[in-house]
């Protein structure tokens, strides 16, 4: 007897792993708690925190390594972490296999001050827009329109803000030739 087993995947709920969930929610707290949270959230990858040492300028630092081990959810989470402003400012190097090295001042790791180390995920950074004209409306319906020779790039920035304030600053500026070719290469 030949039995054909079919599974209706449309009826199955989407199951997210802990790295996907962590990437969606973000993290606010101390740096030490953030590094522990990040290590706990990774599935195959993780976080290695080295003993305190001195950097090349003689300042006390703690070297932190994150590694994805090639797992897509870990790559997504640690990729978002690498793009956060506070963490990006401490970047030292990136290596094959998803290894990224950071150096944090020892007083940052020991601090009890809480801050947003990773914002909750949004789709703001998922799309790069190139435009030739920009129209900005005010609350009365009037607008100012600007045109660009070539292409303008739209950037989204996250300046320091309270976590409950609206997110971001939209920047529109003319794109230089290298920026346009770099964007074209990504598309």
Q: For residue 170, give its domain range.
A: 124-186
> For residue 8, is it within any domain?
no
> For residue 7, is it within any domain?
no
> For residue 56, is it within any domain?
yes
| 103/137 same-domain check | no
Q: How would you write the pLDDT of the chain (187 residues) with one tens digit per residue?
A: 555 555 444 544 455 667 777 777 788 889 999 999 899 888 888 999 999 999 888 999 999 999 998 888 888 888 888 878 778 888 999 998 889 999 999 999 999 999 888 877 765 544 455 667 778 788 888 888 877 766 666 666 655 555 556 556 666 776 665 444 444 444 4
> For residue 9, is it within any domain?
no
- Single residue among 77, 97, 118 that ends a domain in this structure: 118
| 140/77 same-domain check | no
Per-residue pLDDT, 78: 87
Per-residue pLDDT, 61: 95
> For residue 5, is it within any domain?
no
Q: Round to whole Å and give the CA distance between 86 and 63.
A: 15
End-to-end CA distance of the chain: 51
| 130/109 same-domain check | no
| 94/147 same-domain check | no
> For residue 178, is it within any domain?
yes
| 90/113 same-domain check | yes
| 77/130 same-domain check | no
Q: Round to whole Å and give the CA distance between 168 and 123.
A: 13
| 111/44 same-domain check | yes
Q: Round to whole Å and give the CA distance between 134 and 113.
A: 41
Per-residue pLDDT, 166: 57
| 52/101 same-domain check | yes
Per-residue pLDDT, 80: 83
- Angle between helices 18-25 and 72-83 in degrees, nearest 10: 20
| 34/78 same-domain check | yes
Closest CA to 36 of 25, 53, 24, 22: 22
| 47/109 same-domain check | yes
pTM: 0.58
The domain total for the chain is 2
| 109/141 same-domain check | no
Per-residue pLDDT, 106: 94
> For residue 67, is it within any domain?
yes
Q: Tokens 């449309």 — which residue?
A: 10
């Amino acid at each position: 007897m030949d039995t054909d087993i079919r599974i209706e995947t449309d009826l199955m709920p989407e199951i997210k792993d802990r790295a996907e969930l962590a990437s969606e929610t973000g993290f606010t707290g101390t740096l030490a708690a953030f590094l522990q949270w990040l290590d706990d959230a990774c599935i195959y990858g993780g976080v290695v925190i080295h003993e305190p040492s001195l950097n090349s300028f003689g300042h006390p630092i703690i070297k932190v390594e994150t590694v994805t081990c090639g797992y897509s959810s870990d790559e997504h989470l640690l990729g978002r972490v690498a793009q956060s402003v506070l963490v990006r400012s401490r970047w030292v190097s990136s290596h094959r296999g998803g290894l990224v090295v950071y150096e944090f001042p020892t007083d940052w790791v020991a601090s009890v001050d809480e801050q947003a180390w990773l914002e909750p995920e949004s789709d703001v950074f998922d799309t790069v827009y190139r435009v030739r004209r920009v129209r900005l409306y005010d609350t009365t319906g009037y607008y100012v329109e600007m045109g660009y020779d070539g292409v303008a790039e739209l950037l989204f920035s996250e300046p320091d803000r309270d976590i409950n304030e609206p997110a971001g600053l939209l920047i529109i500026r003319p794109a230089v030739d290298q920026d346009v070719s770099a964007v074209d290469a990504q598309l």
